Amino acid sequence: MTAPRIVVRDVPRIVVRDVPPRASFALEQAGVHPLLARLLAARGVRAADELDDGLQHLLPPDTLRGAAAAGVLLADAIDAGRRICIVADYDCDGATACAVAIRGLAMLGAPRAALGYVVPDRAVHGYGLTPAIVDLALAQRPELLVTVDNGIASSAGVAHAKALGLQVLVTDHHLPALEDGQAVLPPADVIVNPNQPGCGFASKALAGVGVMFYGLLATRAELRRRGRFDAQAQPRLDALLDLVALGTVADVVKLDANNRRLVAQGLKRIRAGRLQPGVAALFAAARREPARASAFDFGFALGPRINAAGRLADMTLGIECLLTDDGARAAALAAQLDAINRERREVEAGMREQAEATLLTLADEGAPPAVALFDEGFHEGVVGIVAGRVKDRLHRPTFVFARGGDGRLKGSGRSIPGFHLRDALDLMAKRHPGLLLRFGGHAMAAGATLEADRFEAFASAFEQVAREGLDAATLTRTVRTDGPLASEWFNAETVALLDAQVWGQGFEAPTFCDEVQVMQQRLVADKHLKLRLKLPGGVARDAIWFGRVEPLPERTRLAYRVSLDEWNGQPRVQMVVEAAGG
C-alpha cells in the first residue's frame, strides 16, 4: 500500500516562546532592560554574568582535544622556520580560517615567506584534503600541512601527505566519517576538532575559523612556556576576532555562549574601527557602516560576497582580500567579489525559475517529506543556496544536484529542525551500498556526490528515510516569536538596543507577533507588500513584507521584527513582516 503524501501547509504556526519568570526577573534586577531581559530569558540566559562577553570567559583552549598538541607542533615549526601550507576550504568559514591561520602564525613569529596556502576549486578538486590537493601543495615545498575547516574526513589525502614525508595538522569542526557506526579519523599527526570522539570541549558548535583561532591560542601559550614572550608582551591575537566573528556567523553555526562571545568581541573591534583592510573594504562594497556593524551584516552582506568567489570563481580572491594590508588592493578585490556576487544572484535566480514548475507541482499535489531536485542547467556552485530557498518555501529537507566537471552529480542539502541530514545520508549509505560516492556535513547542511545515473535512486531513498523520521507536526513550519511588542518599546531606542546584541543561529533575533487589522496594502517595486496596520488598542503602524505579492485578509496574525527606515532623511521605526499564520 502506498503511503499517503503529506500536503504542504501554506499557513505556518505562529507560537510564542516561553519566558521563565525567575530568569527574566533576575536579569531585570541585575540592570538588564526589561524587554531585553524577557528576550534573553526566553533564549536560555539565566543570569547576568552569562552576558559578560569578556575574553577571559572564553572556554579554555586546554579543554579542546588536540589543541595543546597542535600548539607544540606549530611552535616547533615556527622555531625551526619550517614551511607551512594552509589547506583551506572554498566557503567563508574556510577563507576566514585561512586568513586567521596565516596572519596569526606570522604574529607568533613564523616568517611570512614560509607561510602559504592552497584552496580547492569546487568544480575541479571537490571538497577537502584530497591526494590531488596534497600534490598541488607540493609546489610550495611545505613541511607541514594545516587544514582549516576540512580534513576530518580526508583519510586518503592525509595518508598521501604522510607517505610523502609531510606532517599534517587537521583543524576542523565537521563530523568524522563513520564505518560500522564508529568514527574513522585520518592518520594526521594532530587533530583539533570539538566533534572528534573523546573531546570534552563544551562548545560543539565552534566554527572552523574558531577552531583555528583556538589552535593559535594554544600555540601562543606554548611559545610563552618556552620563553619566547611573556603575558604582558605577547602578540594580541584578539586583533583577529573580526575575521573569527565573520566566519562564525557566515557558517550559520549555533551561537552558543562561547560563539556569542567571539562574535561580540569581533563586532566591538569593528565598530571601534579596528578591522582588517579587507573586512573594511567588504563593508564599503556592501554599503554598510562598520561603526554600526551587526551579525546581520556578516550573514547577509559580507559572507555572501566571499562565498560567491568559491561558488562561481576562485576563493583565492576572497582569501587575498582578507590577507592584504594594502587598502587599495583590498578595495579592488572587494569590488571583484561584489561583481561576482551579483553574477551569483543572477545564476541563482535562473535556477530558481527552473525549479519553479517542480515546486508548484509539489505544493499543489502534496509534497513528499523530503525533496531532491536535479536539472542539467543547474550550476554546481549555487546548489546549496537553491536548496536553502526550496527548504524555506516547502519546509522540507531538500537536496539540489548539478552535474560536475567529472560528469558526476554534486549535491548540497539543507534540512529542517528535527531531521539530521548527515545521519540520514549515513543511513542511506548503509541501506544502499554504492549509492553515495561521498557525503558529509552537519545536522542542517550536508553534501553528497552520486554517479550520473543514480539521482532517482537517491531521491527515492531520501524520501523513504525522511518519511520514517518525520511526522506531520515536524513538517509544519513553526514561527517562534516573542509575543506582542508593547507600544512604549516601539521606538528607535529599542531598535538600537536590539541591534547591539548578538543574534543568530540558535539564538534567534527577536520576532514579535500581533493580531492586526489591515487598513491599507499595496505593492511597491512590484515585489514588496506595503501595509498600514491597526494593532490592538487602535495603534496604527506602517509595515512591509519583502518578497510578498499576495494580498492579506483584513484580519490576520503577523510575525514581525522591528527596524529603522529612512524617510526624507529622518529615521522611523517600521514593522518588517516575516510570516502570517495561525
- Whether 360 shows a pLDDT value over 70: the answer reads no
* 170 within a domain of the structure (yes/no): yes
Per-residue confidence at 169, pLDDT binned at 50, 70, 90? very high
Q: Same domain for 407 and 482?
A: no
Model pLDDT, residue 129: 95
Q: 130 with 186: CB under 8 angstroms? A: no
Rounded to 5°, angle at Cα 370 from 364 and 375: 80
Cβ neighbours of 383 (radius 10 Å): 25
According to DSSP, residue 124 is labeled T
Rounded to 5°, angle at Cα 107 from 103 and 113: 65
Q: Same domain for 313 and 271?
A: yes
Per-residue confidence at 386, pLDDT binned at 50, 70, 90? very high
CA 355 to chain centre: 24
Establish how many alpha carbons lie within 13 A of residue 370's alpha carbon, considering only the half-sphere containing its beta carbon.
Answer: 29
* 24 within a domain of the structure (yes/no): no
Model pLDDT, residue 565: 81
* 140 within a domain of the structure (yes/no): yes
Residues β-bridged to residue 147:
87, 170
Q: Same domain for 310 and 191?
A: yes
Model pLDDT, residue 93: 97
Model pLDDT, residue 10: 55
**Average pLDDT rounded to a whole number, residues 68-87:** 98
CA 16 to chain centre: 25
Domain final residue pick, 469, 498, 524: 469
According to DSSP, residue 417 is labeled T
Residue with cell 573594504: 281
Q: Same domain for 203 and 254?
A: yes
Domain final residue pick, 469, 502, 531: 469
Q: Same domain for 323 and 383?
A: no
Query: What is the CATH classification number for the domain harbouring 250?
Result: 3.90.1640.30
Provide the grid cell at 470.
518525520
Per-residue confidence at 581, pLDDT binned at 50, 70, 90? confident
Q: Same domain for 211 and 330?
A: yes
Q: What are phi and psi of 105, to 5 degrees?
A: -65, -35
Rounded to 5°, angle at Cα 355 from 349 and 361: 140
Q: Same domain for 118 and 234?
A: yes
502-518, pLDDT tens digit by residue?
999 999 999 999 999 99
Lowest mean pLDDT of 388-392, 441-445, 447-451, name the range.
441-445
- Burial (CB count <10 Å: 0-12, 13-18, 19+), residue 109: middle
Q: What is the DSSP string of 212-261?
A: HHHHHHHHHHHHHHTTS--TTTS--GGGGHHHHHHHHHHTT----HHHHH
Structural domains in the chain (count): 3
The residue range of the domain holding 211 is 55-341
* 5 within a domain of the structure (yes/no): no
Domain final residue pick, 469, 501, 517: 469
Q: Same domain for 284 and 402?
A: no
Model pLDDT, residue 81: 96
Per-residue confidence at 441, pLDDT binned at 50, 70, 90? confident
Q: 168 with 145: CB under 8 angstroms? A: yes
**Average pLDDT rounded to a whole number, residues 127-145:** 95
Name 375's Cβ contacts closer than 8 Å, sequence gap at least 6.
Answer: 351, 354, 355, 402
Model pLDDT, residue 436: 96
CA 304 to chain centre: 10
User: Buried (b) or exposed (e) across 241-259, using 16+ Cβ within 10 A?
Assistant: bbbbbbbbbbbbbbbbbbb
* 7 within a domain of the structure (yes/no): no
- Whether 4 shows a pLDDT value over 50: the answer reads no
β-bridge pairing 371-374 and 409-414: unpaired
% of the chain at pLDDT higher than 90: 83
How far is CA 190 from each of CA 71, 79, 398, rounded to the nearest angstrom? Answer: 10, 18, 35
Q: Same domain for 337 and 426?
A: no
Model pLDDT, residue 7: 38
How far is CA 244 from each of CA 193, 207, 238, 282, 454, rounded to the nearest angstrom? Answer: 16, 9, 9, 15, 39
- Whether 274 shows a pLDDT value over 50: the answer reads yes
Q: Same domain for 65 and 173?
A: yes
- Whether 229 shows a pLDDT value over 80: the answer reads yes
Per-residue confidence at 8, pLDDT binned at 50, 70, 90? very low
Per-residue confidence at 1, pLDDT binned at 50, 70, 90? very low
Per-residue confidence at 366, pLDDT binned at 50, 70, 90? low
Q: Same domain for 511 and 490?
A: yes
Provide the grid cell at 60.
579554555
Per-residue confidence at 146, pLDDT binned at 50, 70, 90? very high
% of the chain at pLDDT higher than 70: 96
Model pLDDT, residue 2: 36
Mean of the per-residue pLDDT values for the chain? 93
Query: What is the CATH classification number for the domain harbouring 408?
Result: 3.10.310.30
Query: What is the CATH classification number for the domain harbouring 520?
Result: 2.40.50.460
* 21 within a domain of the structure (yes/no): no
* 168 within a domain of the structure (yes/no): yes
Q: Same domain for 74 and 167?
A: yes
* 384 within a domain of the structure (yes/no): yes
- Whether 197 shows a pLDDT value over 60: the answer reads yes
Cβ neighbours of 545 (radius 10 Å): 21
Model pLDDT, residue 181: 79
